[in-house]
Structure 1
Amino acid sequence: MSFSLQINVGLMTIKKGGLKPYRGKTIFLTTDPDATATSLLNQAVKKMKDFNKDLKDGPFLLLYPDGTEVITVPGTQRPFTLEAYKAEVGKPYQRITVFICLKSDFEDVGENSDLSDSDPEIVIKRPSEFDLADTLPWELQHESSPLQKAAEYEKGAGDLVLANEVQQVLKAESEESLHNLILQNSTIFQTAGCLRNVKPCEKQAFVEEYLRWYILERNQSVIQRFKDGLESLNFLSALQQHSSVLAPLLCFSAKALTASELESMFRPDLSPAGSNKRHKEVLTLGFWADYLLDCEEKATAVCLEDLMMFATGLTAVPPAGMTPPPCIQFLSDSPFPVANTCANTLKLPICDSYSIFKANMDFGIQNAPGFGCS
């Protein structure tokens, strides 16, 4: 049985050689789950023209967030319906965004345009390589050890940050310069127990011996205390047997925040469907999505890390996730954002336009005297 629902509709235009969302032009559209690509396009164009009198005449195309034309459900040969698309992407209807675009703009850009940053989508990343700490109490199979990384560094393939004395030894081109470097740093090499005459062909083994002391042996007491703590409840044994499974939870991997990641992380706390408050909140969520993209593209006064710090007190997502889950609430009594970092709650101001929302978000975050206080 058909029923009314709301989705987001945006406008794409040519910017910097590719199709990009037009900031502040995202509106909500009331439609039904049986809507086809053609009917949805007609409804979207009409609604966009009602709210934007300067919109150029068509013809228009209906596009997915990645800039491809809406014809079939992605990954299938089934003709597009809103209900089928919703089931495929796994989003609630109010978080679905489609775009309209002038057919002439779409044809000018062509199929090979880079539209990777067009609109935030939930991206499920596969577990890949993790930056495992070199002082872990086990040796992973098929992983380079700290000593192997030193060898890679000499070839220019590694990114291990070595002590200055080690870098100089690896770069020594003659036997005389190698001996001089070892003498200059004789105190630290003697402490490591590896001070001796070294030939150029032996400098790799010399560096490996020094690194073994620098990374492992000098930290042996600390590592042992760490292992003793992990031994509680037999966790150390489980860690050694299933290291690859537990590594993502225990090892920090520095990676840049993305607009898509933050949008999917913060879940909105919406008023009941059909209420006047819900209408304003859905419009604000469109502004929020645009603001995240502007932060990612450095088109705002703050960056994604600043926004994350304001809302949660953290600049990166912990390996074990966040508890409680971050959420978005809405303000009707303040023009500026407010946050509760203990509850991971970000309260967004309800504004009439994206330009006002963006300016108020920038001002509130930049002038917050503490966590989330604006």
Structure 2
Amino acid sequence: MCDMRLEAKLQKIAEATTVEAAREAVEELSLMGGMRCISNLSQREELLAAVLHHYCDGRLLEALQQEYRFREGFHISGANKVLIALRTVFIEDTTPLEAEDIHRAFGVSSLSVEGSNRRRMEARTTGSWRDWLQTVEGGERPLGLGDVLQFATGLQTIPVGGFPSPPTLNVLHPEDGHAQFPTANTCAFVLRLPIFRQYEKCQDAMENGISWGATFGLG
């Protein structure tokens, strides 16, 4: 019963061991129309049933009917669909981060000419990066996807409304400068990857670079 005061009064009546005690407890119900003369203890049950009937039918029923009408109007107007769509804006999104989410979020910028050696190296590097994300998602590596995203953007989850500016993935060729490990600009959401000629090189470089970045505050 949600009305704690009423529950306490009914409990007092139910536990009365004398007619006088029962009458004293009944007097507390007079304001809600429950005043009855009790001549013996067996009449307690009739009184309790009458009070509960009054409470359920007289108070709760009307409130429940109003709630039902409110829900119906809410459903007909379509407002419920709007609130469902906005749920993750006001409540933390618990959807697990997936490798494909990160891959889609980072668009590769400044690709070289199609068919060139540079373009082939870029494709090999981004392919290794995508494969590595899949192994991280599978729990096979010491890092989590949240660690990867935090290294690149400073955030462990993708914002519900998206990033203020689209994250980008830059591939650095040897002639662009010496680089062995990934670097990031978390303010601009830019992740830079050195050329990876082998998947194992990508795996080691990503995990060491991100781990060291978390330790020393680099990125």
2:35 maps to which residue? none
Change (3 A) 1:241 1:287: closer
Instruction: Give the letter aligned to residue 129 of structure 2.
Output: W
| Alignment partner, residue 365 of structure 1 | 210
Pair 1:335-2:180 in alignment: yes
Mapped pair 1:249 → 2:89: yes
The equivalent residue for 2:163 is 322
Mapped partners of 1:326, 1:295: distance in 2 = 20
Q: Deviations over 1:280-307 (max 9, x none)?
A: 1001111011100111112222111110
Whether the 8 Å CA contact 1:250–1:319 is kept in 2: the answer is no
Residue 364 of structure 1, CA deviation? 0.5
Q: Give 2:31's aligned residue.
A: none
After superposition, the CA RMSD in angstroms is: 2.2
Given that residues 337 and 346 in structure 1 are in contact (C-alpha distance below 8 angstroms), is that contact kept between their aligned partners in structure 2? yes
Deviations 1:316-345 (A, max 9, x none): 111111121111101232010000101111
Q: Distance between the aligned counterparts of 1:245 and 1:256, measured in 2? A: 18
Write the deviation string for residues 195-243 of structure 1: whole angstroms up to 9, x where unpaired: xxxxxxxxxxxxxxxxxxxxxxxxxxxxxxxxxxxxxxxxxxxx99943
Structure showing the higher strand proportion among its residues: 1
Does the 8 Å CA contact 1:312/1:340 hold for their aligned counterparts? yes
Structure whose alpha-carbon radius of gyration is higher: 2
Does residue 126 of structure 2 align to residue 296 of structure 1?
no
TM-score, normalised relative to structure 2: 0.56
Q: Percent identity among equivalent residues?
A: 34
Structure 1 alignment gaps of length 5 or more:
1-238
Query: Does structure 2 conserve the Cα–Cα contact (< 8 Å) formed by 1:251 and 1:319?
Result: no
Secondary structure, counterpart of 1:346 in structure 2: strand
Count of residues in correspondence between the two structures: 135
Spell out the pairing of 1:159-170 with structure 2 (5 A cutoff).
none
Deviations 1:116-145 (A, max 9, x none): xxxxxxxxxxxxxxxxxxxxxxxxxxxxxx
Q: State the SS of the aligned residue for 2:104.
A: helix
The 10-residue stretch of structure 1 (253-262 or 310-319) with the greater mean CA deviation from structure 2: 253-262
Contact 1:335 1:351 in 2 (8 A): no
Give distance in 2, aligned partners of 1:248 and 1:260. 20
- TM-score, normalising length from structure 1? 0.34
Q: 1:271 deviation in Å?
A: 2.1
- TM-fit CA distance, 1:349: 1.6
The Cα shift of 1:266 comes to 1.2
Looking at structure 2, the residues matched to 341 and 321 of structure 1 have their Cα atoms a distance apart, in angstroms, of 15
User: Is the 8 Å Cα contact of residues 252 and 318 (structure 1) preserved in structure 2?
Assistant: no
Q: Partners of 1:241 and 1:327 in 2: how far apart? A: 33
Cα distance in 1 for residues equivalent to 2:82 and 2:201: 51
How has the CA–CA distance of structure 1 residues 242 and 355 changed in structure 2, closer, same or farther, with 3 Å as cutoff?
closer
- C-alpha contact 1:266 1:327 (8 A) present in aligned 2: yes
What is the DSSP-based 3-state SS (H/G/I as helix, E as strand, rest coil) of the residue aligned with 1:367?
helix
For residue 189 of structure 2, what is the aligned residue in structure 1?
344
The structure whose residues are more often helix, as a share, is 2
Contact 1:312-1:341 within 8 A present in 2 as well? yes
In 2, Cα distance between the equivalents of 1:342 and 1:290? 26
The equivalent position to 2:122 in structure 1, one of 276, 281, 294, is 281
CA distance in 1, matches of 2:193, 2:140: 19
Which of residues 242, 256, 260 is equivalent to 2:100? Answer: 260
Output the amino acid matched with 1:262. I
